[in-house]
Structure 1
Amino acid sequence: MLTQLMGTVLASAVEAEAESASGQALLIGAGIMAIFLVGLLVTVSFSNVGRRHEAHPEVADSHRQHSNKHGVEHH
């Protein structure tokens, strides 16, 4: 009788632990998903920032250390 009671208690404890671990895993997964959804919202919110104004050609600045002269042959 005592072994049967101990077996029942042990089985219910294992089952409760499994349910607790499953709930904890779902909570962690939901938290990570919420973080990614907030990141997605921020990304979509700022997606039009680069299209607010027309692009202007870069002014040649002789004081820059590295000029942006791609395609021009250097002497």
Structure 2
Amino acid sequence: MLIQLSSAALMAAEVAEEHAEGTPALVYGAVIFGIFMVLMFATMAFTSLGHRHEAVTEHVDPQRQYPNKHDHGQGISE
């Protein structure tokens, strides 16, 4: 993943070098690479949020206004 990020930053730097005369291409590459690194670290920081607690089943409430249709008929009192 790091190789892909660095290659994307280098390609963006090459494109930026063709369009901008005053700013060096490495500055654009470094900025883009830094943005990608921040996004990668944010993604890695939040990967375990879904695994903190065990899944809890929802209780069946027949008085609910909009019941979920996933209780397999347990909440229906006919």
Query: What count of residue pairs does the alignment treat as equivalent?
Result: 54
TM-score by length of 2: 0.49
Q: Which runs of 4+ in 1 moved over 4 A?
A: 70-73
Gaps of 5+ in 1: 1-17
Q: Could you say which structure has the larger radius of gyration? A: 1
The 3-state SS of whatever aligns with 1:33 is helix
Gaps of 5+ in 2: 1-17, 74-78
Q: Equivalents in 2 of 1:64, 1:38: separation in Å?
A: 43
Higher relative contact order (CA 8 A, sep 6+): 2
Query: Identity over aligned residues, as a percent?
Result: 38
How far residue 29 of structure 1 moved from its aligned partner, in angstroms, is: 1.8
Q: Is the alpha carbon distance of 1:64 and 1:30 closer, same or farther for their aligned partners in structure 2, counting shifts above 3 Å?
A: farther
TM-score by length of 1: 0.51
Give the number of the structure whose residues are more often helix, by fraction.
1
